[in-house]
Amino acid sequence: GAVVSQHPSWVICKSGTSVKIECRSLDFQATTMFWYRQFPKQSLMLMATSNEGSKATYEQGVEKDKFLINHASLTLSTLTVTSAHPEDSSFYICSARDPYTEAFFGQGTRLTVV
């Protein structure tokens, strides 16, 4: 199947700083990318959907100024957690798809804010 690479796989940052997570589709053009958040022992919660070159569509309750999503090219989307706080600590997963196949998932990023 197609490969989606997410980087970094884990990151620790200080409270108040910003963290950027990258999601790349390595062998296909990702017209749509999805960002999820997963709490321990829970399911995936969709945060936002982005199309290449367009503004992301955020799910209800997700702060767009807190979680900045950029999908500037067909192979790269980034999620920036701004002014991170301990409650933002979580597992973040991206997925990417083109119009012809199902979505493929990155390996996830474990964010710990201290």
For CA atoms 30, 79, 38, 55, give the dihedral sign.
negative
The single residue among 1, 14, 60, 65 that binds other proteins, judged by CB under 8 A, is 1
**Min separation Cβ 42 and other proteins, Å:** 7
The single residue among 28, 34, 35, 58 that binds other proteins, judged by CB under 8 A, is 34
Under the binding rule (CB under 8 A), the answer on residue 43 touching other proteins is: yes
Residues contacting 60, CB < 8 A, separation 6+: none
In the chain, alpha helices (H): none
Under the binding rule (CB under 8 A), the answer on residue 79 touching other proteins is: no
Under the binding rule (CB under 8 A), the answer on residue 74 touching other proteins is: no
Under the binding rule (CB under 8 A), the answer on residue 102 touching other proteins is: yes
- Interatomic CA distance for residues 6 and 106, integer angstroms: 5
Q: Name which of 99, 80, 98 is nearest 13 in CA terms.
A: 80
Under the binding rule (CB under 8 A), the answer on residue 82 touching other proteins is: no
